[in-house]
Every structure is written in C-alpha cells, then in structure tokens.
Amino acid sequence: MKLYAAPLQGFTEAPWRNLHQEVFGGIDAYYTPFVRMEKGEFRNKDVREIASENNTVSRLIPQLIASTPAELERLAGLFIEKGYKEADINMGCPVPKVATRAQAGSALLKDPNKVYEIVKAVVDSVNVPVTVKIRSGWDEKSINALEIAKVVEKAGASAITVHP
C-alpha cells in the first residue's frame, strides 16, 4: 500500500515536509499546497515552495489550482521546467476565496464539461502523469464524485483522489 501526505495550506509547506520525512518517514509522496497565479503571474511564494533546493523529500508532487485551461497549462509548464515528473490538479478546495471568487477548486465540480476541458488541456500540455483531487461534490444536490471521476478519467488523468 502507498501512503501519500495530503497538503494543508499554511501547515505542510517545505519545512514541515522535510522534517516529517527526516523524523518519521514512511510517506511515499508528499503533495504541495496548491500553486496558483495572481494577476497573471506565478506567486513568488509558490515558486519558492516547489524549488528543489527547498525540498529534501524523496518524492514531491506539486499541486496546481486555476479556473482556466490557459492558467493551468502555464502552471503545469512551470512544474515541468522545475523538473517535476507529475502534477496534480486541485478541484477540491472549498475555501470561498478560491471557489466563489476565483471560480477554481471545488467550484469547477458544478460543470463537468469545464472539468473535462481543464483536465484534458493539462494532460495534453505536459508529458507527465496528471492526477486530480476532487470533493464528494459541490453540494448535496449536485453531480457526485463518481460522475466527475468518469469525466476526469475520460480526459486522461492517471489517478483521482476524492476528499469527502
């Protein structure tokens, strides 16, 4: 069985990951908190967070979040440029600033066509495995995780993680 450490913004940044692996170990891969863009540019804090010189864990999977295929493609390109061999798309974040204002994260789950478009764009833009994190759904009346998982699989993602 594989054991992955999920990210938690503000808690599982590079110092925590590095120390956790050194002291406890046992994790097969650590995910970064999501990397995003602001005003059309990469956030410096996020770029530092994924820099190889700041990470000593054996396997780090960067996670990206955005609401458009173009932003996601740019973010995935940054990951490839930094030498990563895989990328994860966050479609699970329910934080109002992300989901409501930015129409990213879990807000994407309301539109399966947009989910397909975004995942397909990232998969087609990079030659590495792309995984996706989703929630159980947007709300109790909406499309559920199994329906979204089928869309994500059809778009070419290599794995799906569902957060309840």
Catalytic residues: 93
Query: 86 near 61, Cβ under 8 Å?
Result: yes
Report the distance separating Cα 107 and Cα 157, nearest Å: 19
Report the distance separating Cα 150 and Cα 152, nearest Å: 5
Cross-strand bridge partners of residue 61? 31
Other beta carbons within 10 Å of 164? 6
Helix (H, G, I), strand (E, B) or coil at 148: helix
Non-local CB neighbours of 35 within 8 Å, separated by 6+ positions: 42, 43, 46, 47, 49, 50, 62, 63, 64, 65, 75, 78, 79
